[in-house]
Amino acid sequence: MRASRPAVHPVEAPPPAPVAAAQAQAQGEGDGVAHPRGVRMKDPPGAPGTPAGLGLRLAQFFFAAAALAVMASTNDFPSVSAFSYLVAAAILQCLWSLSLAFVDIYALLVKRSLRNARAVCIFTVGDGITGTLTLGAACASAGITVLIGNDLNICAENHCASFETATAMAFISWFALAPSCILNFWSMASR
């Protein structure tokens, strides 16, 4: 007599959702699995809300403040519009960098990520505007400084060393701003 055998297969209970998501990520199946809410990729160094981002903001503030202080220490900077432009751009850079440094400090203290789409957009636009103004002011001041020092040879009558120092500090402030702007733009574009 031929009797058929039952086709019963044992079934395992599915693992809990966070464990299943972790297993799927480990196996490379991250596309179709819902990730637990609030879990994100680590922020890249230098992004807003990270210690490196805070360091960049403080460097931007320090060098812009140094450019402002050196340029303001001379009594004849208002006579040249490029130097006045550098002072205005340095003031704006100081205010922007200091306010974002406070935001970074707050984010670090409460352990929050600043990857909100609106916040990243505001940071990117603000960095782009202040970076463009600071670079333009530094280039204009460098041109006038070269004109005064090399072409007209009237450094004895002016504060050429102070002008050169303030211009160099503005360029360094822009070099500290460039990574912040690039990282913010990258973060905004990767959404």
Give residue-wise pLDDT tens across range 97-153: 999 999 999 999 998 878 788 988 999 999 999 999 999 999 999 999 999 988 888
Contacts with 34 (C-beta within 8 Å, 6 or more apart), sequence order: 17, 21
Q: What pLDDT, on the 0 to 100 scale, is given for residue 189?
A: 82
Identify which has the larger pLDDT, 67 or 48. 67
Which of 1-15, 40-54, 86-100 is least confident? 1-15
Q: Is the pTM of this model over 0.85?
A: no
- Measured from the Cβ of residue 57, the count of other Cβ atoms closer than 10 Å reads 25
Contacts with 92 (C-beta within 8 Å, 6 or more apart), sequence order: 130, 133, 134
Q: What is the C-alpha separation between 182 and 177, in angstroms, rounded?
A: 9
